[in-house]
């Protein structure tokens, strides 16, 4: 009996380890191959095991407490996701990186620009921006928390040229990416926001298609014309 009990414990341990490994792989697959220490601990991983995986190369450190799972080659989306994970609770991809994720600018900005609500020091590959970020200005696209299209356009006004801003608004219009709150609503929410309006034409279009039945970046679930899987805040 003691031998049988020992074998049963070994089998149970192996099954538990396999379930944990599968859960981590599923999480990494959803997040472009990256995970955070906080997420690993939430799945039941011990600190000792995490350190062991780092030592064996199963986890590769990208930033403090954020890891790639089993690989060193990161896509742009993986770098963006890693930046949001470093930002912590309530963080979202924003500004030029968000414009790229929504495919509004064509800039392909690999640096993760991340809006956070408490001060964080920028580091290589991540630029943190401390700004208010209400729940209704955050969506999810390609599994990455990101500012809504309207909030992204508002943020872009401070960091890109007038011509590129008008182009981005035109793309959003063409794809019928109206938001609620709309861009006009957000301009009213943040009076005197730096960079807006860049011009009278932009200002006139600030509430573009407000209240229309257009597809929204805050809808419960939708796929954009470019094939991105996106959904609004829960």
The domain ranges of the chain are 2-69, 77-231
What 3-state class would DSSP assign to 146?
strand
Asked whether 16 and 24 are in contact (CB, 8 A), the reply is no
Which region among 29-38, 173-182, 190-199, 211-220 has the lowest average model confidence (pLDDT)?
211-220
Which region among 38-42, 66-70, 118-122 has the lowest average model confidence (pLDDT)?
118-122
Which region among 65-74, 104-113, 205-214 has the lowest average model confidence (pLDDT)?
205-214
Asked whether 77 and 30 are in contact (CB, 8 A), the reply is no
Distance CA 187, CA 149 (A): 13
Which has more pLDDT, 37 or 6?
Answer: 37
Q: What is the pLDDT of residue 201?
A: 52
pTM of the predicted structure, to 2 decimals: 0.83
Is the bond preceding 223 in cis, omega lying within 30 degrees of 0? no
What DSSP state is assigned to residue 181?
S
pLDDT at 220 over 60: no
Q: What is the pLDDT of residue 200?
A: 43
Structure tokens at 122: 């920028």
Q: What average pLDDT score do residues 205-232 get? A: 47
Q: What is the pLDDT of residue 59?
A: 96
pLDDT at 216 over 50: no
Asked whether 66 and 86 are in contact (CB, 8 A), the reply is yes
Q: What average pLDDT score do residues 33-49 get? A: 96
Which region among 55-64, 194-203, 204-213 has the lowest average model confidence (pLDDT)?
204-213
Which has more pLDDT, 180 or 91?
Answer: 91
Q: What is the pLDDT of residue 206?
A: 55
Which region among 51-55, 79-83, 99-103, 189-193 has the lowest average model confidence (pLDDT)?
189-193
- What does the pLDDT look like over 47-75, one tens digit per residue? 999 999 999 999 999 999 999 998 888 99
Distance CA 175, CA 40 (A): 37
Which has more pLDDT, 127 or 205?
Answer: 127
Q: What is the pLDDT of residue 180?
A: 81
Which has more pLDDT, 2 or 145?
Answer: 145
Q: Which of 183, 179, 180 is nearest to 166 (CA)?
A: 183
Q: What average pLDDT score do residues 214-220 get? A: 43
pLDDT at 130 over 60: yes
Name the phi and psi angles at 122, rounded to 5: -65, 155
Distance of CA 188 to the CA centre of its chain: 25
What DSSP state is assigned to residue 97?
H
pLDDT at 222 over 70: no
Distance CA 232, CA 234 (A): 7
């Amino acid at each position: 009996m003691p031998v049988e009990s020992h074998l049963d414990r070994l089998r149970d341990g192996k099954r538990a380890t396999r379930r944990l490994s599968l859960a981590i792989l599923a999480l990494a697959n959803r997040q472009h191959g990256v995970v955070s220490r906080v997420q690993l601990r939430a799945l039941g991983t011990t600190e000792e095991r995490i350190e062991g995986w780092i030592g064996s190369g199963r986890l590769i450190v990208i930033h403090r407490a954020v890891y790639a799972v089993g690989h060193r080659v990161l896509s742009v989306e993986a770098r963006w996701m890693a930046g949001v994970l470093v930002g912590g609770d309530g963080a979202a991809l924003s500004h030029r990186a968000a414009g790229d994720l929504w495919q509004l600018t064509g800039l392909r900005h690999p640096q993760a620009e991340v809006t956070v609500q408490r001060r964080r020091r920028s580091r290589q590959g991540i630029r943190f921006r401390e700004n208010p970020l209400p729940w209704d200005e955050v969506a999810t696209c390609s599994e990455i928390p990101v500012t809504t299209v309207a909030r992204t356009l508002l943020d872009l006004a401070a960091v890109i040229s007038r011509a590129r801003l008008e182009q981005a608004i035109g793309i959003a219009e063409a794809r019928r990416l109206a938001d609620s709150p709309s861009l006009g609503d957000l301009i009213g929410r943040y009076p005197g926001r730096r960079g807006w309006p860049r011009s009278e034409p932009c200002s006139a279009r600030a509430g573009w298609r407000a209240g229309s039945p257009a597809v929204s970046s805050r809808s419960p679930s939708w796929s954009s014309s470019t094939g991105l899987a996106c959904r609004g805040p829960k």
